[in-house]
């Protein structure tokens, strides 16, 4: 074989340089499960697609609608899964009995001028996925799980949220089948806003309780982090 | 996967949801909203529990009578004879949970505890 008996233009480069142990095991486990009939390839695809289409938008609209409509707010607090349906989320999906890990016991925690809620799962990463999407990476870290239940005000301050002493901080640890989300207070300066306008400022972080909705803020919290001591650019 | 024994839970919960599928099976709840309760700290926690260590022995208040379900300690081992019991959202005062708590005396924490982990505060 000479060096140039194939067409470089038409050679497909590998997608990745190396396949990790995790990927090898994932393929082995999935293929064995399908081979043994534990689940089908179609079911695997269905769950993957379910997990890819969930996100915080329905929850943001639920909050916006609750701000605009006192009757809907009463429904959201009394029958949160019925209110979820009104924003397009059926907690019984995708199995007919809910997802196996998120259950169907949803509760909405209402903030007041003297009460602020923030959620955590100290045991793992339980999160209201059907209506909020997948949990953020930091929510799953031992750091957040270990500290929020004990030093909530310090942790919230790291997110840029400083609460006065006349506001009670209430941490909700989701350690069993209930899943929780926060219904924050409607901020000032939003008079006359539409549901879509209001939903835009209800970010995922507001629904977890590490941020408050603010006029002009449509993205999640960007925290100040300590700069690298030896940044890559400094290297020769 | 319809013939797989592991799918039996799915099949009996379809259309109802979990924990709704256990509704009506735990009898009368022992505690009501507002009751003062102590989290038992003498129960063994070998291999598995979902009652956080930080509330064991602490006194709290029932914030909600949540739902009926077998305890996670039984469900995790798929014990077929596990009896459903009542679960409660219990509210604790932070300053009582943590020595030297640095927030305010009003700050609270809520967590969910099954009935067998609770006793009435004396």
At residue A13, the pLDDT reads: 72
- Angstrom distance (rounded) from CA B98 to CA A115: 20
Which regions in chain A score pLDDT beneath 70? 1-9, 14, 234-236
CA distances from B7 to A95, A115, B74 (A): 11, 42, 17
Residue B2 has pLDDT above 60, yes or no: no
Select the residue from B20, B53, B61, B76 to test the A interface by mutation, using most A Cβ atoms within 10 A.
Answer: B20
Say what the ipTM of the complex is. 0.95
At residue A98, the pLDDT reads: 94
Interface of A with B (CB under 8 A): 37-40, 43, 91-92, 95-98, 100, 103-105, 107, 122-123, 149-154, 165, 168-178
At residue A228, the pLDDT reads: 83
The reply to whether omega before B6 is within 30° of 0 (cis) is no
Size of interface A-B (CB pairs under 8 A): 112
The answer to whether A206 is a known ligand-binding residue is no
Residue B29 has pLDDT above 60, yes or no: yes
The alpha-carbon gap from B13 to the nearest alpha carbon of chain A, in Å, equals 6
More confident residue, B80 or A196: A196
Write down all domains in chain A, each with its CATH number in brackets.
21-51 (no CATH), 56-208 (3.90.330.10)
The alpha-carbon gap from B52 to the nearest alpha carbon of chain A, in Å, equals 8
Tokens of B43: 């129960």
- Angstrom distance (rounded) from CA A209 to CA A183: 9
**B62-75: burial string, b at 16+ Cβ within 10 Å, e else:** bbebbbbbbbbbbb
More confident residue, B47 or A8: B47
The alpha-carbon gap from B51 to the nearest alpha carbon of chain A, in Å, equals 8
Q: How many helical (H) and strand (E) elements, i.e. helices and strands, does chain A have? A: 11, 4
In this prediction the pTM is 0.91
At residue B5, the pLDDT reads: 74
The reply to whether omega before A94 is within 30° of 0 (cis) is yes
CB atoms B14 and A95 under 8 Å: yes
Residue B4 has pLDDT above 90, yes or no: no
């Amino acid at each position: 074989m000479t060096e140039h008996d194939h067409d470089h233009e038409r050679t497909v480069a590998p997608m990745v340089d190396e396949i990790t142990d995790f990927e090898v095991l994932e393929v082995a486990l999935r293929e064995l499960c399908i081979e043994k009939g534990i689940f089908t390839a179609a079911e695997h695809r269905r769950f993957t697609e379910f997990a890819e289409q969930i996100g915080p938008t329905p929850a943001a609209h639920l909050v916006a609608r609750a701000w605009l409509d006192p009757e809907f707010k009463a429904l959201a607090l009394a029958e949160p899964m019925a209110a979820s349906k009104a924003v397009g989320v059926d907690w019984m999906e995708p199995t007919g009995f809910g997802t196996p890990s998120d259950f169907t016991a949803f509760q909405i925690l209402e903030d007041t001028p003297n009460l602020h809620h923030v959620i955590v799962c100290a045991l793992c990463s339980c999160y209201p996925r059907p209506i909020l999407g997948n949990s953020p990476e930091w929510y799953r870290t031992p750091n957040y799980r270990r500290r929020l239940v004990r030093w909530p005000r310090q942790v919230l301050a790291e997110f840029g949220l400083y609460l006065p002493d006349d506001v009670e901080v209430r941490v909700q640890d989701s350690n069993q089948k209930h899943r929780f989300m926060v219904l924050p207070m409607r901020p000032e300066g939003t008079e006359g806003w539409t549901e879509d306008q209001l939903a835009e400022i209800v970010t995922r972080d507001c629904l977890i309780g590490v941020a408050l909705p603010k006029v002009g803020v449509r993205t999640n919290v960007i925290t100040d982090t300590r700069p690298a001591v030896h940044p890559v650019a400094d290297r020769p | 996967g319809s013939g797989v024994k592991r799918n039996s839970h799915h099949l009996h919960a379809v259309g109802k949801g979990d924990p709704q599928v256990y509704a009506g099976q735990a009898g009368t709840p022992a505690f009501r909203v507002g009751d003062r309760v102590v989290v038992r700290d003498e129960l063994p926690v070998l291999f598995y529990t979902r009652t956080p260590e930080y509330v064991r022995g602490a006194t709290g208040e029932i914030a909600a009578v949540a739902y009926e379900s077998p305890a996670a300690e039984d469900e995790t081992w798929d014990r077929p004879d596990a009896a459903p019991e009542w679960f409660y959202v219990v509210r604790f005062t932070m300053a009582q949970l943590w020595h030297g708590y640095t927030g305010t005396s009003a700050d609270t924490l809520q967590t969910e505890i099954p009935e067998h982990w609770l006793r009435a505060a004396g």
